Structure 1
């Protein structure tokens, strides 16, 4: 199973959504999605079953976020390159150098221990574990986005067109 492709299908990303997600506001607010979801789940302590409402709203925001902002005027910033690097990674993985593919997979797996700790913390109401787990889970994701920037830059330097963009952007 390809977890990267599965996530893309779940999010139903088309060309327009990818371009809108390349807006730095989309990328930076995306990093707030996990704390928002965690807070919504934790709210069961305060509001009981009503916590399903903030959980549903947080999940809705996770889906809406890539579509919530207009496409950026320019695509030459870290966030936009990271988004389109991920698109290149998803659509042309076999053409990407092996070292990039391996690092992307390792970074994906490095998030797992943090996610497990975070989930346990949510279950056990251990806030220190939740915070520590979120940090352990998000840091590899930031590094993953940075690797996607590298993939984007290599791709464009090689003169390849970027999926979803009508012209080449440096």
Structure 2
């Protein structure tokens, strides 16, 4: 099983979870988690191993988040389309995605990974500038990726 599918299965195990995650409250409260995770990991400097507590809470939050919100009344919002496009991408082996999306999605995932490496290195070295740059890089690449998922969704349903 590919890593993206494994992660998806852990955090969004079924179609129902994906539909509930398309709720704007689910999307944006989950999206906002990264700075809190960074701060929690950074807090190892101040609170030592107690930093595991907020880190664990945030991981639990990411896992439980899609179950806390109901399905949206419609799926016309940008965020809902992004989530549904991502679901289509995850099912690309069963239902092929329209031409022209695969390569760009791979590039955007690589960009997110590069940002993530910068972020992790910054947090590990306690370098605020690398941490901020890595976080910004991750968020910009993620937003571009989500925008691409909207495009994929719209190309797939029309």
TM-score (norm 2): 0.92
- TM-score scaled to structure 1, two decimals? 0.86
Query: By how many angstroms is 1:8 displaced?
Result: 0.9
Give the superposed CA RMSD. Answer: 1.5
CA-CA distance at 1:24 after TM superposition: 1.1
CA deviation vs aligned residue, 1:29-57 (integer Å, no higher than 9, x gap)? 22212111111111111111111101111
Distance 1:22 1:36 in 2: 22
Deviation at 1:12, TM superposition (A): 4.3
The equivalent residue for 1:46 is: 46
CA distance in 2, matches of 1:2, 1:139: 24
**Gap regions ≥5 residues in structure 2:** none
Corresponding residue of 1:10? 10
How big is each residue's C-alpha offset from its partner over 1:76-119, in whole Å with a ceiling of 9 and x where there is no partner?
Answer: 11011111111111113562134201111110001122111111
Partners of 1:18 and 1:153 lie apart in 2 by 17
Who is 1:81 aligned against? Answer: 81
| Structure 1 partner of 2:72 | 72
Return 5+ residue gaps in structure 1 as ranges: 158-170
